[in-house]
Amino acid sequence: MNDLIPSKMDKPEILAAIFHPRREERNETPPSCQEFEITVSEETTLGCRFFTTHTDAPVIIYFHGNGETVSDYDQIAPYYLQAGLNFFVAGYRGYGWSTGEPSVGALFHDAAIVFERVREHCQSTGLSEEFFIMGRSLGSAACIELGHRFPELIKGIIIDSGFSYTLPLAARLGYDVSESGLNEEDSFNILYKIREIKLPTLSLHGAEDQLIPLNEAEKLQAESGARRKELSVVPGADHNSLIIRGGAVYFETIKGFTDTVTVNRNAWRRRRRK
């Protein structure tokens, strides 16, 4: 198991602004769902859930926002299944029924282990290995990290309400960055990573998002190194109403993106074999 490398952001006052863990007991397992306990250290496990619809369906590995839990997606997961997508929701340390305490270093360390365990499970059970990494808000940092580290294993990334600059976001969350001594390279370093990611990329963002303004999504779009990149803006949506405002179109956009990417990749493979 890889060693956890602490981040320069792993200071109590910064972590208190970035993470808002909510502990809860595991509730009844929903239909079409398998419980996952992923060990990320000798003393820490993450409570995750894997919703599946078909063995051949692409797999979305999802990292949620800083105030959410895995079970918050029990009611949302069926919409992914209806769109023909398998849907894995990753937990964070200290959230839901996961153990441990959250940190920036742990977020990146654990995301890589989650991805590895999901790949192993899909290989052993015959599930599709067409992987898309998706992250909402804070989870977009984990999504972009995996897209940057494992491009050969991932078909595309999907960014929901993503941010481009860490320190301004930390300030909006209540942390005084003026005397932190940190710069973007010390933090999530989003723009550096997105410039190097060539994977197909879809961004979804609310037009009225006040926490992470639309211009941050536009910056990600402009700086992305992907040849195939889309930005879908939902009118009237703020940071927490993207799915509600987007409705069916939100899931149709995701489905259209994953369909196009997998069809193009599979067609390329067939041509290469010939």
Q: What is the pLDDT of residues 164-200, one digit of tens each?
A: 999 899 889 888 887 788 888 889 999 999 999 999 9
First to last CA, the chain: 40
Locate 127 and state its tokens: 């599930």
Q: What is the pLDDT of residues 52-89, one digit of tens each?
A: 999 999 999 999 999 999 999 999 999 999 999 999 99
Share of the chain above pLDDT 90, in %: 84
Write down the pLDDT at residue 116. Answer: 98
pTM summary value: 0.94
Q: What are the E-state strand segments in 115-252? A: 131-136, 156-160, 201-206, 229-234
Whether the per-residue pLDDT at 269 is higher than 90: the answer is no
Greatest CA separation found in the chain? 60
Write down the pLDDT at residue 182. Answer: 86
Write down the pLDDT at residue 180. Answer: 80
157: how many CB neighbours lie within 10 A of its CB? 28
Write down the pLDDT at residue 176. Answer: 84
- The long-range contacts involving 220-225, CB below 8 angstroms and separated by at least 24 positions, are 220/159, 220/162, 220/164, 220/190, 220/191, 220/194, 223/164, 223/191, 223/194, 223/195, 224/194, 224/195, 224/197, 225/194, 225/195, 225/196, 225/197, 225/198
> In which band, very low, low, confident or very high, does the pLDDT at 1 lie, cut at 50, 70 and 90?
low
DSSP 62-114: EE--TT--GGGGTTTHHHHHHTT-EEEEE--TTSBT--S---HHHHHHHHHHH
Range with the lowest mean pLDDT among 44-58, 170-184, 207-221, 250-264? 170-184
Locate 153 and state its tokens: 């294993």
Share of the chain above pLDDT 70, in %: 95
Cβ-based neighbours of 175, under 8 Å, separated by 6 or more: 13, 14, 16, 17, 18
Separation in Å, CA 164 to CA 181, 184, 194: 19, 10, 9
CA distance 103 to 17: 11
Q: What is the pLDDT of residues 33-49, one digit of tens each?
A: 999 999 999 999 999 99
Locate 129 and state its tokens: 């290995």
Q: What is the pLDDT of residues 82-124, one digit of tens each?
A: 999 999 999 999 999 999 999 999 999 999 999 999 999 999 9
CA distance 254 to 83: 9
Say if CB 55 and CB 102 are below 8 A apart: no
Say if CB 212 and CB 157 are below 8 A apart: no
Write down the pLDDT at residue 107. Answer: 97
Q: What is the pLDDT of residues 141-167, one digit of tens each?
A: 999 999 999 999 999 999 999 999 998
